[in-house]
Amino acid sequence: MSTDPPVGIHDLNFATTSLVLTHDELARHTGANPAKYRHGIGQTSMSIPAADEDIVTLAANAAAPVIGRHGTDGIRTLLFATESGIDQSKAAGVYVHRLLGLHRNVRVVELKQACYGATAALQLARALVLTDPDQQVLVLASDIARYDLDSPGEATQGAAAAALLIAARPAIAVLNTPSGLYTRDVMDFWRPTYRSTPLVDGKKSVDTYLEALTATWHDYRARGGLPFEKLRALCYHQPFTRMAHKAHHHLLKTVGTTPTSQAVIEAIGATTGYNEAIGNSYTASVHLALASLLDSDAPLDGETIGLFSYGSGSVAEFLTATVVPGYRTALRTGAHRRGITDRTPLTYDAYRALHGRLLPTDGREHLLPHQTDGTYRLAGVNAHQRLYTATPDRSSQAPCEDQYDEPRRNEVRAAHSREATGHERLAQHGRPGFPPTRSG
Ligand code: CAA
240 φ/ψ angles, rounded to the nearest 5 degrees:
-155, 150
Q: Is 156 in the pocket of ligand 1 (CB under 6 A)?
A: yes
Residue 287 has pLDDT above 70, yes or no: yes
Q: Is 314 in the pocket of ligand 1 (CB under 6 A)?
A: no
Backbone angle region of 176, left / alpha / beta, with phi > 0 → left and psi within -120 to 50 → alpha:
beta
The residue-averaged pLDDT of 86-93 equals 98
Task: State the distance from the centre of ligand 1 to the C-alpha of 388, rounded, in angstroms.
Answer: 37
Residue nearest to atom 5 of ligand 1 (CA): 36
Strands 45-48 and 19-22: antiparallel
Instruction: Report if residue 362 sits inside a domain.
Output: no
The residue-averaged pLDDT of 146-171 equals 98
Are residues 57 and 95 in contact, defined by beta-carbon separation less than 8 angstroms? Answer: no
pLDDT digit string (tens) for 115-126?
999 999 999 999
Are residues 180 and 216 in contact, defined by beta-carbon separation less than 8 angstroms? Answer: yes
Give the three-state DSSP class for 149. Answer: coil
Residue nearest to atom 41 of ligand 1 (CA): 153
Residue 429 has pLDDT above 50, yes or no: no
Q: Is the CA virtual torsion 254, 260, 266, 271 positive or negative?
A: positive
Task: State the distance from the centre of ligand 1 to the C-alpha of 257, rounded, in angstroms.
Answer: 25
Instruction: Report if residue 404 sits inside a domain.
Output: no
- Residue (of 91, 98, 86, 78) closest to 140 by Cα position: 78
Residue 426 has pLDDT above 50, yes or no: no
Instruction: Report if residue 407 sits inside a domain.
Output: no
Angstrom distance (rounded) from CA 345 to CA 220: 42
Instruction: Report if residue 42 sits inside a domain.
Output: yes
Q: Indicate the range of 39-43, 52-56, 423-427 predicted with least confidence.
A: 423-427
Q: Which ligand 1 atom is the nearest neighbour of the CA of 40?
A: 21
pLDDT digit string (tens) for 368-383?
999 999 999 999 999 9
Quick check: is 400 catalytic?
no
Angstrom distance (rounded) from CA 383 to CA 387: 10
Q: Is the CA virtual torsion 147, 44, 9, 210 positive or negative?
A: negative
Residue 432 has pLDDT above 60, yes or no: no
Residue 423 has pLDDT above 90, yes or no: no
The pLDDT score that the predictor gives to residue 378 is 98
Residue 396 has pLDDT above 50, yes or no: no
The pLDDT score that the predictor gives to residue 2 is 76
The pLDDT score that the predictor gives to residue 229 is 97
Task: State the distance from the centre of ligand 1 to the C-alpha of 323, rounded, in angstroms.
Answer: 32
Angstrom distance (rounded) from CA 149 to CA 84: 17
- Residue (of 372, 385, 438, 413) closest to 49 by Cα position: 372
H helices of 169-328, where?
Answer: 202-222, 241-254, 261-268, 273-278, 285-295
Residue 433 has pLDDT above 60, yes or no: no
Largest CA distance in the chain: 67
Q: Is 40 in the pocket of ligand 1 (CB under 6 A)?
A: yes
Are residues 301 and 176 in contact, defined by beta-carbon separation less than 8 angstroms? Answer: no
The pLDDT score that the predictor gives to residue 422 is 38
Q: Which ligand 1 atom is the nearest neighbour of the CA of 34?
A: 7
> Strand pairing partners for 48?
19
The pLDDT score that the predictor gives to residue 420 is 37
Q: Is 205 in the pocket of ligand 1 (CB under 6 A)?
A: yes
pLDDT digit string (tens) for 46-61?
999 999 999 999 999 9
**180 pLDDT band (50/70/90 cuts)?**
very high
Q: Ligand 1 pocket: which of 26, 33, 36 to mutate (most atoms <8 Å of CB)?
A: 36
Q: How many CB atoms lie within 10 A of CB 396?
A: 8
Rg of the chain taking only CA atoms, in angstroms: 21
Using a pLDDT cut of 90, give the percent of the chain over it.
88
Angstrom distance (rounded) from CA 51 to CA 350: 11
Q: Is 202 in the pocket of ligand 1 (CB under 6 A)?
A: yes
- Residue (of 383, 407, 435) closest to 53 by Cα position: 435
**91 pLDDT band (50/70/90 cuts)?**
very high
**42 pLDDT band (50/70/90 cuts)?**
very high
Residue 246 has pLDDT above 80, yes or no: yes
Model pTM score: 0.93
Residue nearest to atom 51 of ligand 1 (CA): 312
Task: Give the CATH number for residue 314.
Answer: 3.40.47.10
Residue 249 has pLDDT above 70, yes or no: yes
Angstrom distance (rounded) from CA 276 to CA 400: 33
Q: Ligand 1 pocket: which of 149, 156, 282 to mutate (most atoms <8 Å of CB)?
A: 156
The pLDDT score that the predictor gives to residue 135 is 97
The residue-averaged pLDDT of 235-245 equals 98
The domain total for the chain is 1
Quick check: is 115 catalytic?
yes
Q: What rounded mean pLDDT belongs to the chain? A: 92
Residue 361 has pLDDT above 60, yes or no: yes
Instruction: Report if residue 436 sits inside a domain.
Output: no
Are residues 395 and 383 in contact, defined by beta-carbon separation less than 8 angstroms? Answer: no
- Residue (of 189, 158, 142) closest to 276 by Cα position: 158
Instruction: Report if residue 242 sits inside a domain.
Output: yes
Tell me the one-letter amino acid at 121. Answer: A
Quick check: is 103 catalytic?
no
Instruction: Report if residue 110 sits inside a domain.
Output: yes
Q: Which of 10, 23, 97, 237 is catalytic?
A: 237
Residue 289 has pLDDT above 90, yes or no: yes
Instruction: Report if residue 359 sits inside a domain.
Output: no
Q: Which ligand 1 atom is the nearest neighbour of the CA of 237?
A: 50
Residue 129 has pLDDT above 90, yes or no: yes
Instruction: Provide the residue range defining the domain that includes 45.
Output: 7-341
**392 pLDDT band (50/70/90 cuts)?**
low
Task: State the distance from the centre of ligand 1 to the C-alpha of 41, rounded, in angstroms.
Answer: 5
Angstrom distance (rounded) from CA 210 to CA 312: 11
Are residues 63 and 99 in contact, defined by beta-carbon separation less than 8 angstroms? Answer: no
Are residues 143 and 83 in contact, defined by beta-carbon separation less than 8 angstroms? Answer: yes
Residue 439 has pLDDT above 80, yes or no: no
Q: Is 198 in the pocket of ligand 1 (CB under 6 A)?
A: no
